[in-house]
Amino acid sequence: MTVREIRIVPDPVLRTPCDPITSITPSVESLVRDLLDTVDDPGRAGVSANQIGVNLCAFSYNINGKLGYLLNPKVLELKGEQYGDEGCLSLPGLWFKTKRANYAKVEGINLKGEKVVLEGEGLMARMLQHETDHLIGHVYIDRLEKEERRAAMRYLRTHDIQPK
């Protein structure tokens, strides 16, 4: 079991778009095991590969006791709206109301190279959007509305965290 250290803002890997996985190799299989071990901790809904320092398109999730992963995810559909508290392991202690779609449908592949579709509402939808954002170099504070973003930036400054 390998629980990997979470990279914290302003680590540049968090702002770098991840590379697609072009073949399933032993190192990709090891990455998935590490992602699953790392997300399997109370209070963790998702972990993207770049959050553990690997610049590949992969994430793991732990929603309602169900563990899983997805490689090369692409958002297919977003519907509705939710506005609720969101946090991030890469921004510890920071929780702000964030607008997201209430339903998300994402497609990717598994370790066998087979197509996988994940979809859900509420927390599942929020996690799918949050983790796919990570893989394109975004953190959730990028999506905050004006007042929340201002408060988040103030928090980061007062805690000597310098976002890019």
List Cα–Cα distances, 104 to 63, 74, 112, in angstroms. Answer: 14, 11, 24
User: Is the bond preceding residue 10 a cis peptide, omega within 30 degrees?
Assistant: yes
Active site residue 131: yes
Catalytic residue among 29, 77, 119, 131: 131
Interior angle at CA 115, CA 43 and CA 34, nearest 5: 35
Burial grade of 69 (CB within 10 A; 0-12, 13-18, 19 or more): buried
Known catalytic residues? 131
